[in-house]
Structure 1
């Protein structure tokens, strides 16, 4: 009888321990993209390797909240929209769904260009008539065959909607001191005309059923080497234009539309921040700041990002453009996107003292590292450049070839989803607008980690293991935990539910 009682006691004890272990287990879904072939694949077996002694400890701290997420996404360019018009409806629809649909990346933040950019088929302006200071001949007809239909198709499949940030590369040449598409400055006599241009643009798009969320004042105000459309400002010149012209104009006609300053590389961010937020008068109309990543293939510039946040913690800080530039896309070659073979503009053209910022790199690594680094340094939105390009990396009137997350062969009606697409989706699909980035503790400096708590209470944790060796991880939240393994050269998104 005593033996039977002991046996029953052991069974009950084992049951209690097993129940407690399940109660202490985090409820988590794991999605992985990897060099070994996973593409946003939901894993059914992600337990750690018990034979590995080293365990990375990650502790989530949801009570320590940071910035509020605005969104993630890509850009509606004339080049991308033109290509979608060249392929079958089936493939066009699949791309739109992949970016904006519930089964896809669920993009929530986007960008487009006002007037032409390098990723247009030609150079054009919505205000082509010289001396038309009241913009009586303003027209967005140039966008009605391509960009506007692409935006409308995206709106149809987007359940939650998405914000549109619009950026000019240049004013009409007749408004500038050099009368050229490239370089030069806006003439003071046309400051009010150019401010009115922004307001007219909002009106014209609204008439098409499209709301504009915000503007950047000027794409790359420091210039682009005088290669394609550009217009130059100093920090104080831009601040003056916003404070005395653009801000008052939009306050009268479209006070809901946001104004973001700067819109270029991070290494010069401090001087623009100091000008915008010098005092209450200068900062009144600036809702935030936009930045690009082209200063380096690996450096995040955390000090500059933290400086911008600390100077104006209640303003937006949005990464508004990024791409693998100066490269022709590799067609259906996933391995290339994981290898350090890509070079950027700076590999050839950066000043000697800046060459070290531009080594060869792996495109997937650059995207994953940058987005995680940005989120961990107060950036609240992240926008990629072209959504779609062809096998040449265009079309582009300047022949400034670049890579997009989705590549099409318009001649043969084929589509290639590169690993960059899946990398971006690890963030956009699972970290939703209004989520709060949260603090965490991470025992392994070589494992990149960020986390955000969504409005529905789910927490998305994104891990990037850049090395080739797998890592065992113990992830804890309050009094619960889960053991997982991430293989080498892999990105994982962990979605924690109640």
Structure 2
């Protein structure tokens, strides 16, 4: 649509998801409201380059897809990866088992096998590998995959357990070889691995499911003296290594250690972060600090989900209401409980992604792509929510509002886009903008509140006036001028 109040009209397409029922719906009729917001785009101001948006291939998701009819399995994969779907461009998977696996397993089943002569990815052949391959076949543009280990096999650890403990120093070289073997094994399946996070949640997870602890120095030493050189020696020096991979409140001590000098910085390509520290605070100061410490490195949000909740089935309204609770509602220390109030799942996603993009984060990856009505399967019964929920017994699929929230970013902000500057007159309306490689601009707005707003949007010497509904996310697409 265009504005007819000026000779210089800004041509735009507007897509909206709202509590009233829009689902990435193209909007052409706009209402005048009492609340006017002025947004001025400044494409001459550029910030980070986007790596991508997406979700995770987990054994649980892949297992569920295999239980559905071919039609519904294809519908879900098309919805995530096809050109007319969410066009996911950055994805994660797990090495060895994680909590969203059916059981504990390792690619290194033989204790004491230091040279990993018995390394095998057999556990991935029934579910994970077919899901990844089918997604690859559907995606026109392709997508990057990074892999994360939750733990080494118990025999490599000081507590001989799947949960907690540390990697024994005598197995540092074996564990570095593990990453190289994984690249080779997946390459043999026709799957290219883009990179790794060194360890999922190195602080641990309360010793509940698969984990392995590293201090910042231990991880940095492992990467500098073992993993980095091993990948380099084996011809995989181009693989991305992301350090940390946990919540943002601990970022400073980690990036200070990871980038302690030129020798350690050489092997770290970036920093991975999660969002579980808070349901509303995206920690802009921590993100700014991490960027300034290593301005030419990646800063990627590698995991976030609605945790500690059984999904609400076919109840869109719940995802817009402040009724969800997270792990911190019950378990956070008293002085941190304020970070974990009841929240609306859509709000948490939209707020965090926009907040991240406005503070140098270049990639944002959701957790499981598909879960069942219980929020699993999960061997520890750590129930969570995914953007798409399925009932495999009835062969039914539910696209939650979270799916559409993710698509507002992944579909319209493409890899190699650059975040651009903007001026926003209303602090209560969140906004971010990116210019894509084809010259188009995507502006994403989030109106969390009950009041619709009129948007006066300007770019260079052109303007348009539109509106955003109450409790709505909007992507405004401006074609190349």
Question: Normalised by the size of structure 1, how large is the TM-score?
Answer: 0.95
2:71 to 78, 90, 103: 90
Q: 1:103 aligns with which of 77, 84, 90?
A: 84
1:396 matches 2:397: no
- SS at 1:72's partner residue? strand
- Cα deviation, residue 19, structure 1: 11
Shift of the alpha carbon at 1:21? 5.4
> Which residue pairs with 2:139 in the alignment?
158
Match of 2:59 among 78, 98, 104: 78
Q: For 1:152-191, list aligned pairs within 5 A.
A: 152-191=133-172
Q: Secondary structure at the match of 2:12?
A: strand
Report whether the alignment pairs 1:278 with 2:260.
yes
Cα offsets for 1:376-400 (capped at 9, x unmatched): 0000000000000000000010000
Residue in 2 aligned with 1:38?
A: 22
- Matched with 2:400 is 418
How far has the Cα of 1:54 moved from its partner? 3.9
> Structure 1 residues 306 and 141, CA, compared in 2 at 3 Å: closer, same or farther?
same
The equivalent position to 2:337 in structure 1, one of 342, 355, 359, is: 355
Give, in whole Å, the separation in 2 of the partners of 1:20 and 1:389: 47
Pairing 1:26–2:26 present: no
Q: Which residue of 201, 204, 209 corresponds with 2:185?
A: 204
C-alpha distance in structure 1 between counterparts of 2:238 and 2:224, whole Å: 16
SS state at 1:126 partner: coil
Q: Which residue of 1 aligns with 2:366?
A: 384
Partner of 2:275: 293
Partner of 1:120: 101
- For 2:299, the equivalent position in structure 1 comes to 317
In the TM superposition, residue 45 of structure 1 has moved relative to its aligned partner by 1.5
Partners of 2:444 and 2:476 within 8 A in 1: yes
Task: Indicate which of 217, 222, 244 corresponds to 1:241.
Answer: 222
Q: 1:222 aligns with which of 203, 213, 216?
A: 203
Between the aligned partners of 1:20 and 1:168, the Cα distance in structure 2 is 55
Q: Judge conservation of contact 2:3–2:463 (CA < 8 Å) in 1.
A: no
Cα distance in 2, alignment partners of residues 282 and 246 from structure 1: 11
Superposed counterparts of 1:448-487, under 5 Å? 448-487=430-469
CA RMSD of aligned residues (A): 1.1
Aligned 8 A contact 2:3 2:9 in 1:
no
Larger Rg: 1
Aligned residue pair count? 478
1:265 to 228, 233, 247: 247
Alpha carbons 2:279, 2:343 under 8 Å: kept: yes
**What is the 5 A alignment of 1:39-58?**
39-46=23-30, 48-49=31-32, 52-58=33-39
Give me the whole-angstrom Cα distance separating, in 1, the residues matched to 2:365 and 2:229: 27
SS in 2 for 1:195: helix
Trace 1:124-135 onto structure 2 (pairs within 5 A): 124-135=105-116
Q: Determine helix, strand or coil for the equivalent of 1:281.
A: helix
**1: CA distance, partners of 2:233 / 2:370:** 37
Indicate the SS of the match to 1:299: coil
Change (3 A) 1:138 1:480: same
Residues 1:488 and 2:473 are matched in the alignment: no
> How far off is 1:445 after superposition?
0.1
2-structure distance, mates of 1:296, 1:423: 19
CA–CA separation in structure 1 for the residues paired with 2:188 and 2:93: 17
- Runs of 4+ residues over 4 Å off in structure 1: 18-23
CA drift of 1:282 comes to 1.4
Hey, what does 1:140 align to over in structure 2? 121
Q: TM-score, normalised by structure 2?
A: 0.98
Render the CA deviation track for 1:449-495: whole Å, top value 9, x for unaligned: 00000000000000000001100110000000100100100000000
